[in-house]
Amino acid sequence: MKIINLIFPPHCPLCGELLALNEGRVHKACYKKLPWVKEPLCKRCGKPISSETGEWCLDCFKSRERHSRSFDSGRALWLYKGDIQKSVLDYKYKGLRSYTPFYGEEASRVLGSWIRQKAPQVLVPVPLHPRKKRIRGFNQAELLARDIGKRMNIPVDGKILRRNRWTEPQKALSDRERRHNLTKSMEIHHLPENLKRVMLVDDIYTTGSTMEVCGAILKKAGVEKVYFLTLCIGFGEG
C-alpha cells in the first residue's frame, strides 16, 4: 500500500486535495467541519428536527397521515450540505471509489451500535439500472454496503432487488411522482428463504421515496423489518 500511495497518492475525500503520507484518510481540518447528524431526530427516518419534543419530521408526519412508512427506521451520518455533499456527488459521478473506505469506516464506527441493535440478516444496496451501472462503472451503494458488511461481518446481497426499467433523474418530480416511477421500475429479483430483517444501504436520503418503495416491495415479499442506512440526509422540519 505504501508503494501504491507513492505512485497514486490518496486524496482527502472532503476537499479533494492530496493527503500527506501517514495523514490518514482525511485532513483533520476537513474532518472537524463535517455536519454530523445530531439529536433530536425523527424517530422513523432519522432526520434532524428542530423541536426537542417532536417525534416526526414533516415528511414522515405527512406520510403517517396517508399511510404508514414501509420502512421501520433509518439513520444517516451527515447532513447533505457543504463539503460532504460535494464529496458524495463526486464519489458517484466522478468515479472516486477510493472514498469508499472512509465512508465505510465512519458508518461502522458511528452507527455500528445501532446497526447491531437492529440485527439485519443482510445488507441490501439500493440497485441501479444495469445501463446506468455500465455508464457509471459501479453502484456506489453496493461498494458502501460491501465495505460496511466486511467491517461488521454482515452478509451483503446485491441481487435481492433489481431495477427493471430506466428512470430519468427525478429532481424535478413531486414525491408522489417519484414513488410512482420507482414502483414501476423496482422488483424482487430473488429472495432467500427465511429472510426477515433487511437493512437497505444508499448514499443519500432526501424525501424517502426510494426507501419507501424498496421497503414496500420487500415487505410485500415477506420481510418483516426493513431498516436503512445512508451517508447523508436532509434536514426535516418538525
The pLDDT tens digits along the chain (238 residues) read 454 444 457 899 999 999 987 888 999 999 999 999 999 999 999 999 988 777 888 888 877 655 578 999 999 999 999 999 999 999 999 999 999 999 999 999 999 999 999 999 999 999 998 888 988 899 999 999 999 999 999 999 999 999 887 665 555 555 666 666 677 778 999 999 999 999 999 999 988 889 999 999 999 999 999 999 999 999 866 4
Rounded CA-CA distance 105/103 in Å is: 6
For the whole model, what pTM was predicted?
Answer: 0.90
pLDDT at position 221, please? 96
pLDDT at position 5, please? 47
Residue type, 226: V
Question: Where in the chain do CATH 3.40.50 domains reside?
Answer: 39-233
Burial 132-157 (b: 16+ CB within 10 A, else e): eeeeeeebbbbbbbbbbbeebebebb
Q: What Rg value do the Cα atoms of the chain yield, rounded?
A: 18
How far, in Å, are 20, 135, 155, 172, 174 from residue 209 at the CA level?
40, 24, 25, 13, 10
Evaluate whether the domain defined by 39-233 bears CATH number 3.30.70. Answer: no
pLDDT at position 51, please? 81
Rounded CA-CA distance 237/84 in Å is: 21
Q: How many CB atoms lie within 10 A of CB 22?
A: 7
pLDDT at position 7, please? 47
pLDDT at position 199, please? 98
Given a contact cutoff of 8 angstroms between Cβ atoms, the answer to whether 42 and 57 are in contact is yes
pLDDT at position 60, please? 85
pLDDT at position 94, please? 93
pLDDT at position 174, please? 59
Given a contact cutoff of 8 angstroms between Cβ atoms, the answer to whether 153 and 230 are in contact is no
Q: What angle do CA 202, 203, 206 make, to 5 degrees?
A: 95
pLDDT at position 3, please? 44
Do the bridges between strand 225-233 and strand 161-163 make them parallel or antiparallel, or are there none, so unpaired? unpaired
pLDDT at position 169, please? 58
Rounded CA-CA distance 110/24 in Å is: 17
Rounded CA-CA distance 69/51 in Å is: 21
How far, in Å, are 61, 197, 231 from residue 224 at the CA level?
22, 6, 24
Rounded CA-CA distance 86/147 in Å is: 21
Q: What are 121's three cell numbers? A: 440478516
